[in-house]
Amino acid sequence: MKLLVTGGAGYIGSHTVLELLQAGHEVVVLDNLCNSSLESLRRVQAIAGRSLLFVEGDIRNRTLLDQLFAQHQIDAVVHFAGLKAVGESVRKPLDYYASNMAGTLTLCQAMADAEVFRLVFSSSATVYGDPARVPASEESPVTNPSSPYGRSKLMVEQLLQDLQCSDARWSIGILRYFNPVGAHSSGLIGEDPLGLPNNLLPYLSQVAIGKLDCLQVYGNDYPTPDGTCVRDYIHVVDLALGHLRALQFISSRRGCEVWNLGAGKGYSVLQVISAFEQASGRTVRYVFGPRRAGDIAANWAEPSKAACELGWKAERSLANMMADTWRWQSMNPQGYR
């Protein structure tokens, strides 16, 4: 297939583009590079031994999208582009609704006009908010995401459902990722946050490499076995492979389906630190701090819908996720720079 991948230079996008190229697909990446570097795609092409077409631009640029769809016979769009920092979304809601919500709207309008009706969308477990019951299944309520970021994802999900209801030609896969971590086993591509990391694994690995002094564990008084929060960490390569399965699925039938992409298992922050120390052979300095606003005690996925319908499940263990994170961090102490 010939695929348009928006946000393909980013963390999850670059890993997915690599798997798509290795599976023989043709790839056009559209990315404005606001949170990524072209170096990721140079390395993706080197690993795959195949090239892709890169277009620098914004998903809100309708003229550019129309040109892209006119120039290329696109079979499906894999849509990663958007902003993803929960805390920043509270401070800059307009940026988040513009990029995530209005951006997706513009993309869908351009797709409809170009008669490209297949779309895989990056949603998030954040749409479950603080779930009344874990594991969260696709049927769990999604009424109360706790940030503008989460609400922008939920609004897009609703837009896509409405769109498919209005026109049966659409075939849409909504993927709710849990906590993506890890890196490609080559150590050549990985997560490269700008500035101070917000998420656990980039922070932890920057402490281990000596770039940051000490990890603050946000809260040890949660109602969990060791008092720290529990999450469903999923290896980014497993996640990438989930997109290939979703593409296969939406290419064979119409509709709008939602799938959780998670491992179906929860680990606490302390378990993650311990697994990382084992994988890296380094001691990670940490202190307990107060809870972080908006954090929930525990969430992990009920992953059986993806297993049944996509034939997909997460294969890579926590030890594997930690080893691959450490390989990427130690081979690239300055990320792509």
Which residues of this protein are in contact with ligand NAD, per CB under 6 A? 6-7, 9-13, 31-36, 58-60, 80-84, 99, 103, 122, 124, 177, 180
Residue found by looking up tokens 């039938």 in the block = 253
Specify the long-range contacts of residues 64-70, CB closer than 8 Å, at least 24 apart.
64/30, 65/30, 65/106, 65/107, 65/110, 66/110, 66/113, 66/114, 68/4, 68/28, 68/30, 69/4, 69/110, 69/111, 69/113, 69/114, 69/116, 70/114
Q: Is the Cβ of residue 84 or residue 243 nearer to ligand WQD in the bound state?
A: 84
Which residue of the set 97, 149, 203, 267 is catalytic? 149
Is 267 part of the annotated catalytic residue set?
A: no
Q: Does 263 bind ligand WQD (CB under 6 A)?
A: no
Residue 269 lies near ligand WQD (rule: CB under 6 A): yes
Contact call for residue 35 and ligand WQD (CB under 6 A): no
215 binds ligand WQD (CB under 6 A): yes
Residue 79 engages ligand WQD in binding (rule: CB under 6 A)? no
Q: Which residues pair with 288 in a beta bridge?
A: 217
Question: Would you count residue 86 as binding ligand WQD (CB under 6 A)?
Answer: yes
Is 130 a binder of ligand WQD (CB under 6 A)?
Answer: no
Shortest Cβ 229–ligand NAD spacing (Å): 15
User: Which residues lie below 8 Å from residue 6, measured CB to CB, with a gap of 6+?
Assistant: 13, 29, 30, 31, 59, 77, 78, 79, 80, 81, 107
Exactly one of 52, 119, 134, 200 binds ligand WQD (CB under 6 A); which one? Answer: 200
Per CB under 6 A, contacts with ligand WQD among 287-306 are 292, 295
What span, in angstroms and rounded, lies between the C-alpha atoms of 103 and 61? Answer: 8
Q: How far is the CB of 283 from ligand NAD (least distance, A)?
A: 26
Instruction: Give whichever of 22 and 199 is closer to ligand WQD, judged by the CB atom.
Output: 199
Phi (first) and psi of residue 273, to 5 degrees: -60, -45
Tokens of 288: 């307990």
Copy the structure tokens of residue 61.
Answer: 């640029």
- List residues binding ligand WQD (CB under 6 A): 84, 86, 124, 126, 179, 198-200, 203, 215-218, 229, 231, 269, 292, 295
Q: Which residues are catalytic?
A: 149
